[in-house]
Amino acid sequence: MFRGIASVTMDSRGRMALPTRFREEAEQRTENRLVATIDNNEQCLLLYSLGDWEEVQRRLEALSNIGTSARLLQRLLIGHATDVEMDAQGRVLIPPLLREYGELEKKIVLMGQTNKLEIWSEQIWRTRREEWLKATRESAFSDLSDLDGLSV
């Protein structure tokens, strides 16, 4: 399971080294075979193990593509999905078009989200984090009755 947050550096070739805890999880899940795609809700990338991505793709393909919403989602997520491999040093090469979408430069933030990693530009992530924190202070979660009694 991917969880936690880490700051990493991307080199001039577009490679980022996964921190040890994320690298070990990726190795256990996929033997270094990963899939990167865009997030359709945020300006970040999503990095899945191959097995987890195949499940996501099956679910996307099962959507009726008669409607434009399902087709659009399939086009964005499956269309941008790119197989990437982790090398012996734990580095992953992010393709140029995906780097462009996420505005990824040298400073990157990785955020574990159980079955995937989010890959953020550090600058965009800092801005969005402040927005999320502000939203939680303004009771953005009042509609989630499942959170009643949750103390963190």
Q: How many CB atoms lie within 10 A of CB 109?
A: 20
Q: Which CATH fold topology does 2-140 show?
A: Chemotaxis protein chec (3.40.1550)
Q: Which residue has the higher pLDDT, 145 or 110?
A: 110
Residue 29 structure tokens: 């899940």
Instruction: Kindly state the average pLDDT of the residues 17-23.
Output: 88
**Per-residue pLDDT at 68:** 86
pLDDT tens for each residue of 23-70: 888 777 777 899 999 999 999 999 999 999 999 999 999 988 777 888
Asked if residue 151 has pLDDT above 50, the reply is: no
20-30 and 50-62 helices, crossing angle to 10° = 60
pLDDT tens for each residue of 75-130: 999 999 999 999 989 999 999 999 999 999 999 999 999 899 999 999 999 999 99
**Per-residue pLDDT at 152:** 47
Asked if residue 140 has pLDDT above 60, the reply is: no
pTM: 0.87
**Per-residue pLDDT at 39:** 97
Domain boundaries, the chain: 2-140
